[in-house]
Structure 1
Amino acid sequence: MAKIHPQAFLSSASSSSFSNYIAPTKEIFTIWMKSLISNSKGCTVFDSNGKIIYRIDNYEQKYSDEVYLMDLRGDVLFTILRKKLRLFGRWEGYKSNGSKMEQEKPWFKVRKPCRILKGDPPCQVTVGWNKDRPDCYRIEGLAGKSACKIVDKAGRLVAEVKQKHSSSGVVLGDDVLSLVVEPNTDHSLIMGLVVVHGLINHTL
Protein backbone atom coordinates (compact mmCIF):
# COMPACT_ATOMS: atom_id res chain seq x y z
CA MET A 1 0.00 0.00 0.00
CA ALA A 2 1.27 3.48 -0.86
CA LYS A 3 1.91 5.75 2.11
CA ILE A 4 -0.42 8.67 2.76
CA HIS A 5 2.63 10.87 3.14
CA PRO A 6 6.27 9.73 2.89
CA GLN A 7 7.18 11.51 6.14
CA ALA A 8 3.80 11.46 7.81
CA PHE A 9 4.82 11.17 11.45
CA LEU A 10 7.61 13.54 12.33
CA SER A 11 8.14 14.78 15.87
CA SER A 12 5.42 16.93 17.39
CA ALA A 13 7.98 19.58 18.31
CA SER A 14 8.81 20.34 14.69
CA SER A 15 5.15 20.14 13.70
CA SER A 16 3.89 22.55 16.33
CA SER A 17 6.46 25.22 15.46
CA PHE A 18 4.57 26.15 12.28
CA SER A 19 2.88 29.49 12.86
CA ASN A 20 2.80 31.32 9.51
CA TYR A 21 -0.39 30.60 7.58
CA ILE A 22 0.48 32.66 4.48
CA ALA A 23 3.31 31.82 2.06
CA PRO A 24 4.55 33.63 -1.07
CA THR A 25 4.56 30.37 -3.03
CA LYS A 26 1.98 27.71 -3.88
CA GLU A 27 1.50 25.17 -1.09
CA ILE A 28 0.34 21.58 -1.26
CA PHE A 29 -1.26 19.80 1.70
CA THR A 30 -2.47 16.25 2.23
CA ILE A 31 -5.85 15.75 3.88
CA TRP A 32 -6.38 12.34 5.44
CA MET A 33 -10.04 11.89 6.30
CA LYS A 34 -9.19 10.13 9.55
CA SER A 35 -8.94 11.41 13.09
CA LEU A 36 -5.82 11.01 15.22
CA ILE A 37 -8.09 9.67 17.97
CA SER A 38 -9.22 6.04 17.74
CA ASN A 39 -12.89 5.60 16.72
CA SER A 40 -13.27 9.35 16.24
CA LYS A 41 -14.62 11.20 13.19
CA GLY A 42 -12.53 13.95 11.66
CA CYS A 43 -9.43 14.52 9.56
CA THR A 44 -5.69 15.17 9.75
CA VAL A 45 -3.81 17.62 7.51
CA PHE A 46 -0.11 17.39 6.60
CA ASP A 47 2.08 19.96 4.88
CA SER A 48 4.44 19.08 2.01
CA ASN A 49 7.16 18.07 4.49
CA GLY A 50 4.90 15.58 6.25
CA LYS A 51 4.32 17.72 9.34
CA ILE A 52 0.84 17.68 10.87
CA ILE A 53 -0.58 21.19 10.59
CA TYR A 54 -4.31 20.81 11.28
CA ARG A 55 -6.62 18.27 12.85
CA ILE A 56 -10.32 17.81 13.49
CA ASP A 57 -11.64 15.35 16.04
CA ASN A 58 -15.42 15.06 16.31
CA TYR A 59 -15.22 11.89 18.39
CA GLU A 60 -18.20 9.66 17.57
CA GLN A 61 -20.34 12.39 16.04
CA LYS A 62 -20.38 13.05 12.30
CA TYR A 63 -21.83 16.13 10.59
CA SER A 64 -21.72 18.09 13.83
CA ASP A 65 -23.22 21.57 14.25
CA GLU A 66 -20.07 22.71 16.07
CA VAL A 67 -16.61 21.77 14.78
CA TYR A 68 -13.15 22.87 15.88
CA LEU A 69 -10.21 23.29 13.51
CA MET A 70 -7.13 22.68 15.66
CA ASP A 71 -3.36 22.56 15.35
CA LEU A 72 -1.39 19.44 16.27
CA ARG A 73 -1.41 20.28 19.99
CA GLY A 74 -5.19 20.59 20.03
CA ASP A 75 -5.27 24.40 20.26
CA VAL A 76 -8.40 25.68 18.51
CA LEU A 77 -7.80 27.95 15.50
CA PHE A 78 -11.38 28.21 14.22
CA THR A 79 -14.73 27.36 15.76
CA ILE A 80 -17.20 26.55 12.98
CA LEU A 81 -20.90 26.73 13.79
CA ARG A 82 -23.86 25.67 11.70
CA LYS A 83 -26.85 28.03 11.74
CA LYS A 84 -30.12 26.20 11.19
CA LEU A 85 -32.38 27.88 8.67
CA ARG A 86 -35.38 26.49 6.82
CA LEU A 87 -34.38 26.97 3.21
CA PHE A 88 -30.73 27.96 3.35
CA GLY A 89 -27.74 26.39 5.06
CA ARG A 90 -25.27 28.76 6.71
CA TRP A 91 -22.02 28.18 8.53
CA GLU A 92 -19.97 30.73 10.46
CA GLY A 93 -16.28 30.54 11.36
CA TYR A 94 -14.92 32.30 14.43
CA LYS A 95 -11.24 32.81 15.11
CA SER A 96 -10.20 31.16 18.34
CA ASN A 97 -7.34 31.49 20.78
CA GLY A 98 -6.58 28.14 22.38
CA SER A 99 -10.10 27.07 23.32
CA LYS A 100 -12.10 30.33 23.30
CA MET A 101 -13.46 32.42 20.44
CA GLU A 102 -11.64 35.75 20.10
CA GLN A 103 -14.65 37.80 19.04
CA GLU A 104 -18.41 37.74 18.80
CA LYS A 105 -18.55 38.42 15.05
CA PRO A 106 -17.72 35.59 12.65
CA TRP A 107 -14.51 35.84 10.61
CA PHE A 108 -16.19 34.13 7.66
CA LYS A 109 -19.67 33.05 6.59
CA VAL A 110 -20.61 30.32 4.13
CA ARG A 111 -24.09 30.28 2.63
CA LYS A 112 -25.46 27.30 0.76
CA PRO A 113 -28.15 28.16 -1.84
CA CYS A 114 -31.68 26.86 -1.53
CA ARG A 115 -32.06 23.14 -2.30
CA ILE A 116 -34.92 23.73 -4.73
CA LEU A 117 -32.57 25.43 -7.19
CA LYS A 118 -31.55 23.27 -10.15
CA GLY A 119 -28.09 21.78 -10.34
CA ASP A 120 -25.47 22.24 -7.64
CA PRO A 121 -24.93 26.00 -7.29
CA PRO A 122 -21.72 27.11 -5.54
CA CYS A 123 -21.65 28.12 -1.90
CA GLN A 124 -21.16 31.84 -1.31
CA VAL A 125 -18.42 32.94 1.12
CA THR A 126 -17.86 36.32 2.75
CA VAL A 127 -14.77 37.06 4.83
CA GLY A 128 -14.17 39.94 7.24
CA TRP A 129 -16.38 42.39 9.08
CA ASN A 130 -16.48 45.26 6.61
CA LYS A 131 -19.94 45.02 5.04
CA ASP A 132 -19.03 47.55 2.36
CA ARG A 133 -15.85 45.80 1.17
CA PRO A 134 -15.91 42.14 2.22
CA ASP A 135 -13.68 39.53 0.59
CA CYS A 136 -15.91 37.18 -1.39
CA TYR A 137 -15.28 33.64 -2.58
CA ARG A 138 -17.22 30.72 -4.02
CA ILE A 139 -16.88 27.05 -3.15
CA GLU A 140 -17.63 24.98 -6.25
CA GLY A 141 -18.11 21.24 -5.96
CA LEU A 142 -16.25 18.96 -8.38
CA ALA A 143 -16.60 15.26 -9.18
CA GLY A 144 -16.90 13.33 -5.91
CA LYS A 145 -18.24 14.51 -2.56
CA SER A 146 -14.91 15.79 -1.24
CA ALA A 147 -13.44 17.45 -4.33
CA CYS A 148 -13.97 21.19 -4.73
CA LYS A 149 -12.34 24.41 -5.80
CA ILE A 150 -12.42 27.85 -4.19
CA VAL A 151 -12.40 30.92 -6.43
CA ASP A 152 -12.42 34.63 -5.69
CA LYS A 153 -15.05 37.11 -6.87
CA ALA A 154 -13.17 37.58 -10.16
CA GLY A 155 -13.24 33.83 -10.82
CA ARG A 156 -9.53 33.29 -10.13
CA LEU A 157 -8.60 29.97 -8.54
CA VAL A 158 -7.58 30.28 -4.89
CA ALA A 159 -7.46 26.63 -3.82
CA GLU A 160 -8.46 23.17 -5.04
CA VAL A 161 -9.14 19.86 -3.34
CA LYS A 162 -8.92 16.60 -5.29
CA GLN A 163 -8.08 12.95 -4.79
CA LYS A 164 -4.39 12.40 -4.12
CA HIS A 165 -2.04 10.24 -6.20
CA SER A 166 1.38 9.05 -5.10
CA SER A 167 4.51 10.14 -6.95
CA SER A 168 4.26 6.93 -8.99
CA GLY A 169 0.65 7.65 -9.94
CA VAL A 170 -1.05 5.27 -7.49
CA VAL A 171 -4.47 6.45 -6.26
CA LEU A 172 -4.34 6.62 -2.47
CA GLY A 173 -8.06 6.12 -1.85
CA ASP A 174 -11.19 8.20 -1.42
CA ASP A 175 -10.13 9.27 2.07
CA VAL A 176 -6.79 10.81 1.02
CA LEU A 177 -7.01 14.22 -0.65
CA SER A 178 -4.63 16.82 -1.99
CA LEU A 179 -5.21 20.50 -1.17
CA VAL A 180 -3.39 23.01 -3.38
CA VAL A 181 -3.39 26.61 -2.11
CA GLU A 182 -2.31 29.48 -4.34
CA PRO A 183 0.40 31.96 -3.18
CA ASN A 184 -0.32 34.70 -0.62
CA THR A 185 -3.45 32.96 0.63
CA ASP A 186 -4.28 32.26 4.28
CA HIS A 187 -4.42 28.47 4.26
CA SER A 188 -5.98 28.36 7.74
CA LEU A 189 -8.98 30.19 6.24
CA ILE A 190 -8.97 27.86 3.22
CA MET A 191 -8.93 24.85 5.52
CA GLY A 192 -11.90 26.31 7.39
CA LEU A 193 -13.82 26.55 4.10
CA VAL A 194 -12.81 23.00 3.16
CA VAL A 195 -14.18 21.85 6.51
CA VAL A 196 -17.52 23.53 5.78
CA HIS A 197 -17.63 21.84 2.36
CA GLY A 198 -17.04 18.51 4.11
CA LEU A 199 -19.86 19.20 6.58
CA ILE A 200 -22.24 20.09 3.75
CA ASN A 201 -21.46 16.84 1.96
CA HIS A 202 -21.46 14.73 5.15
CA THR A 203 -17.83 13.66 4.80
CA LEU A 204 -16.84 15.10 8.21
Structure 2
Amino acid sequence: MSIKIHPHQLAAPLATPVSDLSTSQPDDLSLSSSGEGEIFTIWMKSLILGGKGCTVFDSNGEVVYRVDNYSSKGCNQVFLMDSQGRVLLTILRKKFRLLARWEGYKNEKTKGESWWFQVRKSWKIPKMPLGNEVVVNLYHDKKSPAFKIEKSKNDLTSCKIVNRLGGLIAEMKRKQSTGGVVLGSDVLTLVIEPNIDHSLIMGLMVAYNLIHCRM
Protein backbone atom coordinates (compact mmCIF):
# COMPACT_ATOMS: atom_id res chain seq x y z
CA MET A 1 0.00 0.00 0.00
CA SER A 2 1.43 3.31 -1.02
CA ILE A 3 2.25 5.72 1.79
CA LYS A 4 0.08 8.28 -0.03
CA ILE A 5 -3.08 6.31 0.71
CA HIS A 6 -3.38 7.27 4.38
CA PRO A 7 -2.77 10.46 6.44
CA HIS A 8 -0.51 10.92 9.45
CA GLN A 9 -2.19 13.64 11.48
CA LEU A 10 -5.24 14.32 13.59
CA ALA A 11 -7.99 16.30 11.98
CA ALA A 12 -8.22 20.01 12.50
CA PRO A 13 -11.65 21.12 13.70
CA LEU A 14 -14.18 21.36 10.91
CA ALA A 15 -15.32 24.78 9.78
CA THR A 16 -18.76 24.51 11.37
CA PRO A 17 -18.83 22.79 14.78
CA VAL A 18 -21.53 20.35 15.74
CA SER A 19 -24.17 22.51 17.33
CA ASP A 20 -26.90 20.01 18.11
CA LEU A 21 -26.55 16.44 19.28
CA SER A 22 -30.12 16.27 20.52
CA THR A 23 -30.83 13.62 17.92
CA SER A 24 -28.39 11.24 19.60
CA GLN A 25 -28.89 9.19 22.72
CA PRO A 26 -25.96 7.69 24.68
CA ASP A 27 -26.34 4.37 22.87
CA ASP A 28 -25.73 6.13 19.55
CA LEU A 29 -22.20 6.99 20.64
CA SER A 30 -21.28 3.73 22.29
CA LEU A 31 -19.41 1.76 19.64
CA SER A 32 -16.43 3.97 18.91
CA SER A 33 -15.85 7.69 19.27
CA SER A 34 -13.15 10.16 20.20
CA GLY A 35 -12.90 13.46 22.03
CA GLU A 36 -10.86 14.81 19.11
CA GLY A 37 -11.71 15.17 15.45
CA GLU A 38 -10.13 12.41 13.38
CA ILE A 39 -9.09 11.78 9.81
CA PHE A 40 -9.67 8.48 8.05
CA THR A 41 -8.72 7.40 4.56
CA ILE A 42 -11.22 5.38 2.56
CA TRP A 43 -9.80 3.24 -0.23
CA MET A 44 -12.65 2.12 -2.45
CA LYS A 45 -11.16 -1.34 -2.89
CA SER A 46 -11.63 -4.59 -1.02
CA LEU A 47 -8.64 -6.39 0.48
CA ILE A 48 -10.14 -9.63 -0.84
CA LEU A 49 -9.03 -10.58 -4.34
CA GLY A 50 -11.98 -10.22 -6.67
CA GLY A 51 -14.17 -8.77 -3.92
CA LYS A 52 -16.13 -5.51 -3.91
CA GLY A 53 -16.09 -3.06 -1.04
CA CYS A 54 -13.72 -0.64 0.66
CA THR A 55 -10.92 -0.44 3.21
CA VAL A 56 -10.64 2.29 5.86
CA PHE A 57 -7.34 3.40 7.41
CA ASP A 58 -6.79 5.52 10.51
CA SER A 59 -4.26 8.35 10.77
CA ASN A 60 -1.48 5.83 11.50
CA GLY A 61 -2.15 3.86 8.34
CA GLU A 62 -3.73 0.94 10.19
CA VAL A 63 -6.80 -0.80 8.79
CA VAL A 64 -9.73 -0.08 11.12
CA TYR A 65 -12.80 -0.92 9.01
CA ARG A 66 -13.49 -3.18 6.05
CA VAL A 67 -16.30 -3.94 3.66
CA ASP A 68 -15.76 -7.10 1.62
CA ASN A 69 -18.50 -8.24 -0.75
CA TYR A 70 -17.99 -11.61 -2.32
CA SER A 71 -21.00 -11.29 -4.61
CA SER A 72 -21.74 -8.77 -7.34
CA LYS A 73 -21.39 -5.02 -6.97
CA GLY A 74 -24.43 -3.43 -5.36
CA CYS A 75 -25.65 -6.50 -3.47
CA ASN A 76 -28.55 -6.31 -1.02
CA GLN A 77 -26.58 -7.15 2.15
CA VAL A 78 -23.30 -5.58 3.23
CA PHE A 79 -21.25 -6.01 6.40
CA LEU A 80 -19.09 -3.30 7.96
CA MET A 81 -16.31 -5.12 9.81
CA ASP A 82 -13.35 -4.21 11.97
CA SER A 83 -9.79 -5.07 10.95
CA GLN A 84 -10.19 -8.62 12.31
CA GLY A 85 -13.32 -9.32 10.30
CA ARG A 86 -15.78 -8.98 13.20
CA VAL A 87 -19.14 -7.65 12.01
CA LEU A 88 -19.98 -4.23 13.46
CA LEU A 89 -22.92 -3.34 11.24
CA THR A 90 -25.21 -5.18 8.86
CA ILE A 91 -26.54 -2.93 6.10
CA LEU A 92 -29.54 -4.18 4.14
CA ARG A 93 -31.18 -2.83 1.02
CA LYS A 94 -34.96 -2.56 1.25
CA LYS A 95 -37.28 -1.64 -1.59
CA PHE A 96 -40.74 -0.13 -1.29
CA ARG A 97 -42.42 0.24 -4.66
CA LEU A 98 -40.01 2.32 -6.74
CA LEU A 99 -38.07 3.68 -3.76
CA ALA A 100 -35.08 1.96 -2.20
CA ARG A 101 -33.56 2.57 1.21
CA TRP A 102 -30.69 1.13 3.22
CA GLU A 103 -31.12 0.04 6.84
CA GLY A 104 -28.26 -0.42 9.28
CA TYR A 105 -28.32 -2.92 12.16
CA LYS A 106 -25.75 -3.29 14.93
CA ASN A 107 -23.58 -6.40 14.62
CA GLU A 108 -25.14 -9.25 12.65
CA LYS A 109 -28.86 -8.68 12.26
CA THR A 110 -31.09 -10.98 14.30
CA LYS A 111 -34.70 -11.83 13.54
CA GLY A 112 -37.11 -9.13 14.70
CA GLU A 113 -34.37 -6.60 15.44
CA SER A 114 -35.17 -2.96 14.64
CA TRP A 115 -32.83 -0.96 12.46
CA TRP A 116 -30.36 1.50 13.99
CA PHE A 117 -30.31 3.90 11.04
CA GLN A 118 -32.08 4.25 7.72
CA VAL A 119 -30.73 6.04 4.66
CA ARG A 120 -32.66 7.02 1.54
CA LYS A 121 -32.63 9.59 -1.22
CA SER A 122 -34.68 12.69 -0.60
CA TRP A 123 -37.56 13.29 -2.97
CA LYS A 124 -39.24 16.30 -1.34
CA ILE A 125 -36.55 18.95 -1.58
CA PRO A 126 -37.94 21.99 -3.50
CA LYS A 127 -35.86 23.36 -6.37
CA MET A 128 -33.20 20.69 -5.92
CA PRO A 129 -32.46 17.91 -8.41
CA LEU A 130 -33.38 14.46 -7.15
CA GLY A 131 -30.47 12.73 -5.48
CA ASN A 132 -28.46 15.77 -4.36
CA GLU A 133 -29.44 15.03 -0.78
CA VAL A 134 -29.78 11.85 1.25
CA VAL A 135 -31.73 11.79 4.51
CA VAL A 136 -30.89 9.71 7.58
CA ASN A 137 -33.29 8.54 10.27
CA LEU A 138 -32.19 7.08 13.61
CA TYR A 139 -34.04 4.37 15.53
CA HIS A 140 -35.46 6.58 18.29
CA ASP A 141 -36.91 9.20 15.91
CA LYS A 142 -38.01 7.34 12.82
CA LYS A 143 -40.29 10.05 11.42
CA SER A 144 -37.95 13.03 11.50
CA PRO A 145 -34.53 12.93 9.76
CA ALA A 146 -31.65 13.21 12.22
CA PHE A 147 -28.98 13.93 9.60
CA LYS A 148 -28.68 14.86 5.95
CA ILE A 149 -25.93 13.78 3.58
CA GLU A 150 -25.36 16.59 1.11
CA LYS A 151 -23.66 15.61 -2.12
CA SER A 152 -21.29 18.01 -3.85
CA LYS A 153 -22.76 19.45 -7.04
CA ASN A 154 -19.61 18.77 -9.02
CA ASP A 155 -18.16 15.63 -7.48
CA LEU A 156 -20.07 12.50 -6.48
CA THR A 157 -17.23 11.42 -4.18
CA SER A 158 -17.54 14.56 -2.02
CA CYS A 159 -20.31 14.96 0.54
CA LYS A 160 -21.08 16.33 4.01
CA ILE A 161 -23.13 14.93 6.86
CA VAL A 162 -24.98 17.67 8.73
CA ASN A 163 -27.43 17.59 11.62
CA ARG A 164 -30.86 19.21 11.80
CA LEU A 165 -29.42 22.64 12.49
CA GLY A 166 -26.84 22.42 9.72
CA GLY A 167 -23.92 21.64 12.05
CA LEU A 168 -21.19 19.67 10.29
CA ILE A 169 -20.83 16.09 11.56
CA ALA A 170 -18.44 14.65 8.97
CA GLU A 171 -17.06 15.42 5.54
CA MET A 172 -15.76 13.15 2.78
CA LYS A 173 -13.76 14.29 -0.25
CA ARG A 174 -11.00 13.15 -2.56
CA LYS A 175 -7.67 12.81 -0.82
CA GLN A 176 -4.73 15.08 -1.54
CA SER A 177 -1.10 14.06 -1.23
CA THR A 178 1.25 16.04 1.01
CA GLY A 179 2.28 17.90 -2.14
CA GLY A 180 -1.29 18.95 -2.85
CA VAL A 181 -1.91 16.50 -5.70
CA VAL A 182 -5.50 15.23 -5.79
CA LEU A 183 -5.50 11.44 -5.85
CA GLY A 184 -7.85 9.21 -7.81
CA SER A 185 -11.57 9.02 -7.14
CA ASP A 186 -11.09 5.73 -5.28
CA VAL A 187 -8.99 7.33 -2.49
CA LEU A 188 -11.01 9.54 -0.15
CA THR A 189 -10.45 11.49 3.06
CA LEU A 190 -13.11 11.33 5.77
CA VAL A 191 -13.01 13.87 8.61
CA ILE A 192 -15.25 13.13 11.62
CA GLU A 193 -16.09 15.67 14.32
CA PRO A 194 -15.32 14.89 18.00
CA ASN A 195 -17.65 12.73 20.11
CA ILE A 196 -19.39 11.16 17.14
CA ASP A 197 -19.69 7.39 16.78
CA HIS A 198 -17.22 6.44 14.07
CA SER A 199 -18.99 3.22 13.17
CA LEU A 200 -22.26 5.10 12.64
CA ILE A 201 -20.58 7.55 10.26
CA MET A 202 -18.82 4.69 8.46
CA GLY A 203 -22.15 2.94 8.08
CA LEU A 204 -23.73 6.09 6.63
CA MET A 205 -20.85 6.53 4.20
CA VAL A 206 -21.13 2.90 3.09
CA ALA A 207 -24.87 3.37 2.50
CA TYR A 208 -24.20 6.62 0.61
CA ASN A 209 -21.77 4.87 -1.72
CA LEU A 210 -24.17 1.96 -2.20
CA ILE A 211 -26.97 4.38 -3.12
CA HIS A 212 -24.71 5.91 -5.75
CA CYS A 213 -23.50 2.50 -7.01
CA ARG A 214 -19.88 3.01 -5.98
CA MET A 215 -19.52 -0.26 -4.11
Q: Does 1:74 align with 2:85?
A: yes
| Secondary structure in structure 2 of the residue aligned to 1:3 | helix
Give me the TM-score of the superposition, normalised by structure 2.
Answer: 0.80
Deviation at 1:170, TM superposition (A): 1.9
Distance (whole Å) between structure 2 residues aligned to residue 84 and residue 128 of structure 1: 18
Give me the TM-score of the superposition, normalised by structure 1.
Answer: 0.84
Deviation at 1:147, TM superposition (A): 1.6
Distance (whole Å) between structure 1 residues aligned to residue 31 and residue 90 of structure 2: 19
| Secondary structure in structure 1 of the residue aligned to 2:207 | helix
Match of 1:139 among 123, 139, 149: 149
Deviation at 1:64, TM superposition (A): 1.1
- CA gap 1:89/1:114 in 2 versus in 1, 3 angstroms: farther
- CA gap 1:166/1:101 in 2 versus in 1, 3 angstroms: farther
Deviation at 1:103, TM superposition (A): 6.6
Distance (whole Å) between structure 2 residues aligned to residue 114 and residue 89 of structure 1: 12
Match of 1:129 among 116, 121, 140: 140
| Secondary structure in structure 1 of the residue aligned to 2:65 | strand
Unaligned 5+ segments in structure 1 are 8-18
Structure 1 runs of 4+ aligned residues shifted over 3 Å read 99-103, 114-118
Q: Does 1:160 align with 2:161?
A: no
Matched with 1:3 is 4
- State the Cα deviation string for residues 145-198 of structure 1 (Å, max 9, x = none): 222110001111100100000111122211000000011111110000000110
Distance (whole Å) between structure 2 residues aligned to residue 136 and residue 116 of structure 1: 16
| Secondary structure in structure 1 of the residue aligned to 2:4 | coil
Distance (whole Å) between structure 1 residues aligned to residue 146 and residue 112 of structure 2: 20
- State the Cα deviation string for residues 10-49 of structure 1 (Å, max 9, x = none): xxxxxxxxx9611111110000001000111110000111
Equivalent residues of 1:94, 1:103 under 8 A apart: no
Give, as a single letter, the amino acid of the residue that structure 1 aligns with 2:118.
K
CA RMSD of aligned residues (A): 2.5
Distance (whole Å) between structure 2 residues aligned to residue 154 and residue 126 of structure 1: 15
Instruction: Percent identity, please.
Output: 53
Equivalent residues of 2:6, 2:58 under 8 A apart: no
Equivalent residues of 2:7, 2:40 under 8 A apart: no
Match of 2:113 among 89, 104, 129: 104
* Count of residues in correspondence between the two structures: 190
Matched with 1:13 is none
Equivalent residues of 2:37, 2:194 under 8 A apart: yes
Distance (whole Å) between structure 1 residues aligned to residue 117 and residue 125 of structure 2: 25
Distance (whole Å) between structure 2 residues aligned to residue 6 and residue 147 of structure 1: 18
Unaligned 5+ segments in structure 2 are 9-29
Matched with 2:162 is 151
Distance (whole Å) between structure 2 residues aligned to residue 135 and residue 46 of structure 1: 29
Q: Does 1:35 align with 2:36?
A: no
Deviation at 1:6, TM superposition (A): 6.6
Deviation at 1:89, TM superposition (A): 2.1
Equivalent residues of 1:46, 1:53 under 8 A apart: yes
Q: Does 1:171 align with 2:172?
A: no
Deviation at 1:113, TM superposition (A): 2.6
